[in-house]
């Protein structure tokens, strides 16, 4: 293990760059395995953010140590690496090794105010974290992940309506507080009314809303990449009530769904695309079936301003079996990283 103040050998791949001195910082304790450093690659260049700003934001640790080469000549390989990193806003990346506790070390070229010699500050981060964060900062566009059910929408089938009505009726029967009974009764009444609308839609593709008959309109579903089948769904939209009735499989009436969009969704969607510029790159993560998830998102983003049809396969992530929360976060991270790279 390298000792504080010790000379170590620095390589870029198999190319020897020269010797450098490791200077500790408080708290001390960080060590490079062995007596050499092997740089695996350089990070992507930063368009707006210098590596120091990025690493100070994402690193769980403060500065780990400093690396300097006082005896390096201006045209030495070590000096050329330093100048390249400094000019292009790059960091020199030391890949995680078995002895590095799974950390990826970034060497950041820093100006020396007193003596003019190459100096790097060393930061450690989780492997693979730096490049995606840099890409988002370069674009000035962060990622946002939405859930669907009970977050952006409330959707029910005939079966789920029946289950909700039965469960709520039992709660009302066992409740003594008249205020709570009144609130639950109003909710029960709404479920029954919504269920009746869904029943009408399933049976006749028409509903009666406030004494007025409303029929379905055929809406074409954007074709996904690689798909050649044109899909038309029978849809009824009650815009003023944020209600949509749709059919996941247009040929099977039992796949009909009654959907309530969250009232503030339009305000949020307008904010996300304000002045014609996307403020966030949008993703959807849900445990629902894929066809259902894609249709719910189509209802939320009918003009595909937030997620284009070409992006949908990667941006809408459906997780059927969730062994652990880590599984979900890992899959979402993979989806986001595919876009960023």
Is 140 or 126 the better-scoring residue by pLDDT? 126
With respect to residue 2, please indicate whether it lies within any of the assigned structural domains.
no
C-alpha span between 338 and 317 (Å, rounded): 13
Residues 35 and 155 reside in one and the same domain: no
In this structure, the number of other CB atoms found within 10 A of the CB of residue 33 comes to 14
Residues 114 and 60 reside in one and the same domain: yes
With respect to residue 1, please indicate whether it lies within any of the assigned structural domains.
no
The dihedral formed by the CA atoms of 207, 212, 213 and 218, expressed in degrees to the nearest 10: -80
With respect to residue 132, please indicate whether it lies within any of the assigned structural domains.
no
Tens of pLDDT along 200-221? 999 999 999 999 999 999 999 8
Residues 169 and 283 reside in one and the same domain: yes
Residues 174 and 293 reside in one and the same domain: yes
pTM above 0.95, yes or no: no
**Strand partners of residue 44:** none
With respect to residue 136, please indicate whether it lies within any of the assigned structural domains.
no
* pLDDT of 181: 94
- Residue written as token pair 């894609």: 294
Indicate the SS3 state at residue 218. strand
* pLDDT of 1: 47
With respect to residue 137, please indicate whether it lies within any of the assigned structural domains.
no
Identify which of 39-43, 219-223, 308-312, 323-327 has the greatest average pLDDT. 39-43
Is 15 or 72 the better-scoring residue by pLDDT? 15
With respect to residue 25, please indicate whether it lies within any of the assigned structural domains.
yes
Q: Tell me which of 35-39, 40-44, 233-237 is least confident.
A: 35-39
Contact (Cβ atoms closer than 8 angstroms) between residue 173 and residue 82: no
pLDDT averaged over every residue in the chain: 85
C-alpha span between 222 and 20 (Å, rounded): 58
Q: What mean pLDDT comes out for the span 37-56?
A: 90
* pLDDT of 340: 43
Residues 91 and 197 reside in one and the same domain: no
Residue 160's domain comprises 144-340
Mark which of 97, 127, 157 sits at the end of a domain: 127
**Which of 297, 238, 236 has the alpha carbon at shortest distance from 269?**
297
Residues 168 and 217 reside in one and the same domain: yes
* Residue 148 CA, distance from chain mean position: 14
By percentage, how much of the chain surpasses pLDDT 90? 47
**Per the structure, how many domains does the chain have?**
2
Contact (Cβ atoms closer than 8 angstroms) between residue 24 and residue 92: no
Residue 112 has pLDDT above 80, yes or no: no
Q: What are phi and psi of 34, to 5 degrees?
A: 70, -160
By percentage, how much of the chain surpasses pLDDT 70? 88
Mark which of 127, 156, 185 sits at the end of a domain: 127
Residue 334 has pLDDT above 60, yes or no: no
How buried is residue 130: exposed, middle or buried, by Cβ count under 10 Å (0-12/13-18/19+)? buried
* pLDDT of 116: 77
Is 275 or 333 the better-scoring residue by pLDDT? 275
With respect to residue 223, please indicate whether it lies within any of the assigned structural domains.
yes
With respect to residue 117, please indicate whether it lies within any of the assigned structural domains.
yes
Q: What mean pLDDT comes out for the span 320-328?
A: 50
C-alpha span between 39 and 67 (Å, rounded): 13
C-alpha span between 123 and 213 (Å, rounded): 66
Spatial CB neighbours of 277, under 8 Å, sequence gap ≥ 6:
none
* pLDDT of 324: 45
Mark which of 65, 95, 127 sits at the end of a domain: 127
Residues 219 and 322 reside in one and the same domain: yes
C-alpha span between 193 and 190 (Å, rounded): 5
Q: Tell me which of 46-55, 308-317, 332-341 is least confident.
A: 332-341
Residues 107 and 220 reside in one and the same domain: no
Residues 217 and 265 reside in one and the same domain: yes
Which CATH number does the domain housing residue 48 bear?
2.40.290
Residues 163 and 113 reside in one and the same domain: no
Residues 53 and 190 reside in one and the same domain: no
Tens of pLDDT along 2-33? 554 578 899 999 999 989 888 888 666 677 87
Residues 113 and 164 reside in one and the same domain: no
Confidence tier at 102 by pLDDT (50, 70, 90): confident
């Amino acid at each position: 293990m390298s000792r504080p103040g010790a000379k170590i050998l620095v390589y870029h791949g198999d190319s020897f760059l020269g010797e450098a001195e490791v200077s500790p910082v408080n708290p001390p304790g960080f060590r490079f395995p062995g007596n050499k450093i092997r740089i695996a690659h350089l990070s992507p260049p930063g368009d707006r953010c210098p590596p120091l700003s990025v690493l100070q934001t994402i690193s769980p640790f403060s500065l780990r140590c400093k690396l300097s080469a006082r005896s390096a000549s201006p045209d030495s390989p070590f000096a050329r690496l330093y100048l390249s990193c400094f000019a292009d806003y790059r960091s020199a990346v030391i890949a995680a090794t078995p002895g590095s506790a799974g950390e990826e070390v970034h060497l950041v070229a820093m100006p020396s105010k007193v003596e003019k010699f190459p100096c790097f500050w060393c930061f450690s981060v989780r492997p693979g974290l730096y490049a995606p964060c840099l890409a988002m900062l370069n674009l000035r566009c962060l990622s946002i992940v939405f859930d669907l059910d009970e977050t952006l929408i409330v959707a029910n089938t005939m079966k789920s309506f029946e289950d909700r009505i039965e469960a709520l009726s039992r709660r009302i029967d066992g409740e003594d507080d008249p205020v709570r009974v009144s609130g639950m009764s109003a909710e029960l009444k709404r479920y029954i009314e919504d269920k009746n609308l869904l029943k009408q839609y399933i049976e006749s593709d028409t509903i009666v809303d406030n004494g007025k008959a409303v029929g379905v309109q055929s809406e074409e579903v954007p074709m996904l990449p690689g798909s050649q089948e044109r899909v038309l769904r029978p849809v009824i939209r009650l815009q003023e009530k944020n209600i949509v009735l749709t059919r996941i499989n247009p040929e099977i009436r039992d796949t009909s769904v009654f959907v309530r969009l969250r009232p503030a969704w339009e305000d949020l969607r307008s904010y996300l695309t304000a002045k014609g510029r996307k403020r966030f790159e949008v993703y959807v993560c849900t445990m629902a079936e894929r066809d259902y998830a894609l249709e719910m998102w189509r209802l939320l983003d009918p003009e595909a301003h937030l997620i284009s049809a070409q992006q949908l396969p990667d941006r809408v992530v459906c997780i059927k079996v969730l062994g652990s929360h880590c599984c979900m976060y890992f899959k979402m991270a993979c989806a986001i990283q595919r876009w960023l790279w």
